[in-house]
Structures are given as structure tokens and as C-alpha cells.
Structure 1
């Protein structure tokens, strides 16, 4: 795909990895639709990225009606949707049993899975439906690309990460079957599984916590940059032969138990 000619949806696009991705897409000339929850931050991002080619939609990724309405609005504003990048998610930590032997609240586990896994699938399926009705954009008869965000916790969840690891492992597991489902329509599906990334949430932690996380990374011995995530997104957009893949982005980190 020619990035300068595409329209991309980015969920969680107002912060962290989604924000970095939106910046990179706009710098390359793409039109960008930000799906997020905070109206004030959304307006700020549109102003920063350029209101001519950026839109913000207040969307709960779990809500079918909200997602569909936003997709319809994107198509009305910008035309065909070529790329959907799912970055929205939460990362709570809670052990299965606390120190007193009390079970973790079921609603906490359910909320994490609902946002991270079901929300990702909800947006992906509705975006794919829109893409399937569009004309192909290149000689490979490509109509669209979906990029989901997992985590290396989906492979090596740490203590307290049962909900997060389960949700991200689910995203990893749906990558290949979704790609197989959509391949006949010319729609690719890939997933990125980041390691410890220097998002604003993590950078707000004490320096000793950041240093401890970075020390476990074999090379380069630092936190990942959000722009490196965005760079991988750009490669996936340009490389049509990359389909059905989950790519770790972690400096060869394998997470210890804690």
C-alpha cells in the first residue's frame, strides 16, 4: 500500500503506542481516525496531527453500535478504510489469590478480557466487513490490513498477570485463523507483541522500576521506544507478503516470573 494514500483507524490512538503510530502515519501522509475515550485528549490530538486529515471518535471498543457508527463516519469523511490498528487495552495486575487466600474478583478478569480481546475482535471484524466491500488497492488484490497488539505476556505472563496474559494470548491465537478467514477477500491480519515499551504509563513509574525492567532486556538494554512499534506497523503496511504473523518486539526479552 502507498501509505500517503490510505486511511487508518487507530484504537487507543490518543496515547502510548497508538499515539506514536498515529504520529508516524500522519507524517507519512495518511488520513487517521482516532478511536479513544477522552474527548479533551482527542481534540488535542486532532489539533496536533492536523484537523484536515485527522478525526477523533469517542468509542468504547466493546460496544458494537459505537464502533459501527464510528466506522460509518470514517467512511463518510475519508472514504475507504485501508488499515485498522488495534492498540486499545488495559494492563491491570492481580494475583489469582491474595495473601489472605481470597480469590481475585471475577469482574476484574472479565473486564480485561472484554477490553483487550473482545474489544480487539469487535473492531477488527467490523473494520474487515467495511474493507471487504472496497476495491483492491494493488496488483495483489489487497483490500485492507488489520494489525492487532498483543504482548510478550501472552507467551510469558508474570505473577499477577493472569487476566492480561490470557487476553493477549487470545489475540496471538486469533491472528492466524482470522488471517485465513479474510485472505480470500484480500485482507491481511498481523499482530505485534511488544515487550517493555517506554509508554507514558510506564515512564511515570519510579526510575528504579524502569531501570529494573530495562535491565532484563538482553539488547538493546533499555525500554522500547513507541516509535519502534510504529516503525513495525509501517513495515507491515508496506510488506504485502506479511500475513498471519505475530512479531515479537522485545529486544529478545523473555519475561521472568516477576
Structure 2
């Protein structure tokens, strides 16, 4: 799938993995429309070739309107990358009692349903484009986490939501095959994102020490590079790929 003179949607595009991916796609020649919450967009510097729209991915009406705007750039919509997500920590039964069920639902709404909303509504638009070689029309790359496989203490909601994204990958690829749309998922390990910027250097060093090799934290640019590989490689479909330096998370 060539990116030059096409349109790409990236969710969570104002920072972290999403921002790095949006920048990489724009550098490759795509017109990038980034979705993020208004509070996240405020003060963000998306860079050349990236336009940010205020979108709550849990609201299908907002998503549908934003996807329509992205599809109307004059360049065919070919790529969708779902990076939007949240990861609050809480045990199913902690010192303060049972897990806040509203919080659990919110994590699933953002991480899993948000991914479904954007993928499904964008796929409907991609399916309207002219097919390329082999009938290809587009590609979706979703973001899960190694927590989908190695969920730690306090990650029940997060792991469940990301496990849902992993489980969605193959059936989504099969559902969308008739429309020439591929679906793949990336499961990052511990990556240097704004969420880690608030912790001490000592804590970060401890996290890095647990990674077999390379013994450091992942970089958003490496995630973006993997996304571009998945977009460009037309025979990669229905795949879930870990990007974690061979890390397997301990219980805590």
C-alpha cells in the first residue's frame, strides 16, 4: 500500500504513539487527519501534513462526522491507525473494595469500542474507494498491548480491553477481506510515552532492566516505523505483532 497522495486517520494523534505515527505517515506522503480529545489537542504541535480534529472515539456520531471529513480531503482514505487508549490501574478487589465498575466500563469503551467505532466507520469509507493491485483498498492497524497476554496486578480492565483488540484482529481481517482492507495489530511493551514522563529516572531504569534485549524502553518512533511496515507490506494481514524486546511481564 503506497502512502503518497492518500489520506490516513490516526487516533490519539496529539501525543505519544499516535503523534509519532501521524508524523511518520505525513513524512511518507500521506495527508494525516488526527483524532484526539479537545483537551489533548490544546497546545499540541502536530507538524506539517497533520491536521487534528477534536473527537471522542467512544461517541460513534463524532467518529462518523470526523471520518467523513477525513474521507473528503480529495485524496483516497487508505490507512487507519488506532492509538487512542487509557490505562488506569485498579485491582478487582482492593483495599477500598471492589473495582469501580464504571471505570472498568470506561476503559473498555475507549480501548475496545473506540477502536471498533473508528475501524468500522472508516472501513465503510475505504470500501468506496477505487481498488488498487489485487483489489487492495486500505489497511487498519490497531494498538493493543503485551498486557493482553501478560496482564499484571491492577490491569484487569486494561488487559481485558486490549485482549479484546487482539481477539478482534483475525475476524476483522476476514470480515473486511472482501473489501480489500487488511487488519493488523501491534502490541507494544514499555514505550517512552508521556505517561512515563512523570515517573522518576530510577523507576524508568528499573523498567528498562527487565527487558531482555535491547535493555531499554521502546521508542514511539519504533512503533511508528513498525506501523509503516504493516501498511506497506500487502501480504501481512490478520497478524498480531509484539514490539517488546522479548519482555514477558511478571505478575507485578
Q: 1:41 deviation in Å?
A: 3.0
Answer whether contact 1:112 1:164 (CA < 8 A) is retained: yes
Distance 1:43 1:206, change over 3 A: closer
Answer whether contact 1:92 1:164 (CA < 8 A) is retained: yes
Q: Give 1:125's match in structure 2, choosing from 120, 126, 135.
A: 120
Instruction: Tell whether 2:173 aligns with 1:208.
Output: no
Instruction: Tell whether 2:92 aligns with 1:96.
Output: yes
The gaps in structure 1 that reach 5 residues or longer are none
Distance 1:43 1:5, change over 3 A: farther
Answer whether contact 2:142 2:184 (CA < 8 A) is retained: yes
Equivalent residue number for residue 217 of structure 1: 211
Hey, what's the Cα distance between the residues in 2 that align with 1:77 and 1:28? 17
Equivalent residue number for residue 67 of structure 2: 71
Hey, what's the Cα distance between the residues in 1 that align with 2:131 and 2:32? 20
Q: 1:75 deviation in Å?
A: 1.8
SS at structure 1 position matched to 2:184: strand
Q: 1:43 deviation in Å?
A: 6.6
Hey, what's the Cα distance between the residues in 1 that align with 2:2 and 2:138? 12
SS at structure 2 position matched to 1:82: strand
Answer whether contact 1:97 1:104 (CA < 8 A) is retained: yes
Q: Give 1:59's match in structure 2, choosing from 45, 55, 61.
A: 55
CA offsets, 1:155-198, max 9 Å, x none?
01000000000000000000000000001110000000000001
SS at structure 2 position matched to 1:5: coil
Distance 1:106 1:40, change over 3 A: closer
CA offsets, 1:57-102, max 9 Å, x none?
11000111100101111122243210000000001000111125x1
Greater mean deviation of Cα atoms: 65-74 or 149-158? 65-74
Q: 1:2 deviation in Å?
A: 1.7
- Root-mean-square deviation (CA, aligned residues, Å) is 1.3
Hey, what's the Cα distance between the residues in 1 that align with 2:42 and 2:72? 19
How many pairs does the alignment contain?
Answer: 252
Q: 1:116 deviation in Å?
A: 0.3
Q: Give 2:80's match in structure 1, choosing from 81, 84, 90.
A: 84
Equivalent residue number for residue 236 of structure 1: 230
Provide the TM-score with structure 2 as the length reference.
0.96
Equivalent residue number for residue 112 of structure 1: 107
Question: How does 1:1-258 map onto structure 2 within 5 Å?
Answer: 1-38=1-38, 41=41, 44-46=44-46, 49-50=47-48, 53-99=49-95, 102-137=97-132, 139-258=133-252
Hey, what's the Cα distance between the residues in 2 that align with 1:79 and 1:24? 18
Provide the TM-score with structure 1 as the length reference.
0.94
Hey, what's the Cα distance between the residues in 1 that align with 2:4 and 2:138? 15
